[in-house]
A and B are shown apart, each in its own frame.
Chain A
Amino acid sequence: MVVTTSWYLALAAVLFSLGSVGLLTRRNPLVMFMCVELMLNAVNLTFVSLGADLGDLGGQLSVFFVLVVAAAEVVVGLAVIVAIMRRRPGATADDLSVLGG
């Protein structure tokens, strides 16, 4: 049995869908962030598998930059969550509607 690129892409599709469902259902902002990480990982998997399929280094280079941006996003996002949680402990994503003014 040979593992083809389609297997990886199918796995990444399932992983991405799971992440998006989690993002839509969970209310804890931290868990929502984790679901975003799941989706980013699914995309990374497609980049690497297609890069391997086409013999191109570009896929892995893209994943490198996605990793850096994801790290920056997590740092800023968690700082925002810390700032919000200090004001209003136990806040869920629904409570942030007060930011609308």
Chain B
Amino acid sequence: MDAAVFIVSAVVVLSGAVGVLVARNPVHAALFLVQTLFGVAVLFVLLDATFLAAVQVIVYAGAVVILFLFVIMLLGVDRAEDLGIEPIVGQRSVAAIVGASMLGLLLTLLLVGVDGPTGARGANATLGGAEDNTRRLGEALFTDHVFAVELTALLLTVAVVGAVVLARRVRGPLQPLPVAAVAVASDDEEQSEGGPAADQEDAGEGNT
């Protein structure tokens, strides 16, 4: 039973990953990513990590991929990319060699290595079963790792502020800027006064 579930979800995960690699359209790539993430969530359930399986679906498949799709739709970059073009000569072959050698190394380490993965068992065996997984995780997070949790809260706040600042559109007359920022400011002015540059015009057509 376990083996069947594992094999099915492994096929789902890997076919989704291949789909992300070869999909010409970014929207299709995002949907293949959802497939992979769901497969990984099923594997988490199989490993009794029920809380992480739920978080995987909610945060990854829910929030992160939706964010990807929002950006794709917002920017209108959902045109198919011509995968026939190889921008740097030899890039594909080098990438294939790097990927194959990485896979070879990892699998050699795993399968041919001494007796598979080894390690000391947890001293106090903190991992419970699937039924009290969430309670144990919560207890560990808010007692032993409470400082790290606070730091992640800070990190998320900084990330949100940074995203808002980066994605903000400057409107109206620009304030005078220090010398280092003059080049950026004049570029902004050009855009807000209309008359987009020629390359923007032909690249942006068909998006609206």
Contact = CB atoms under 8 A, between A and B. Distances in A.
Interface of A: 1-11, 13-22, 24-28, 30-31, 33-35, 37-38, 41, 44-45, 48-58, 60-61, 63-65, 67-76, 78-83, 85-90, 92, 94
B2 A2 contact: yes
B17 A25 contact: no
Contacts of B107: 10, 13
Contacts of A67: 52, 55-56, 59-60
A30 B21 contact: no
A31 B20 contact: yes
B64 A30 contact: no
B162 A54 contact: no
Contact of B200 (A3, A16, A78, A89): A89
Interface in B185-202: 187, 191, 199-200
Contact of B163 (A4, A8, A78, A88): A78
Given A65-B152, A71-B59, A25 B21 contact: yes
- Size bracket, chain B contacts: 35 or more
A19 B17 contact: yes
B126 interface: yes
A41 B60 CA distance: 10
Interface string B1-37: 0110010001001100110110100100110010011
B182 interface: no
Contacts of A81: 71, 75
B139 to A, nearest CB: 9
A38 B106 contact: no
A89 B75 contact: yes
Given A17-B106, A28-B26, A55 B121 contact: yes
Given A20-B99, A27-B87, A89-B200, A41 B48 contact: no
Contacts of B122: 54-58
B91 A24 contact: yes
B47 A94 contact: no
Contacts of B155: 68-69, 72
A21 B14 CA distance: 13
Nearest to B207: A89
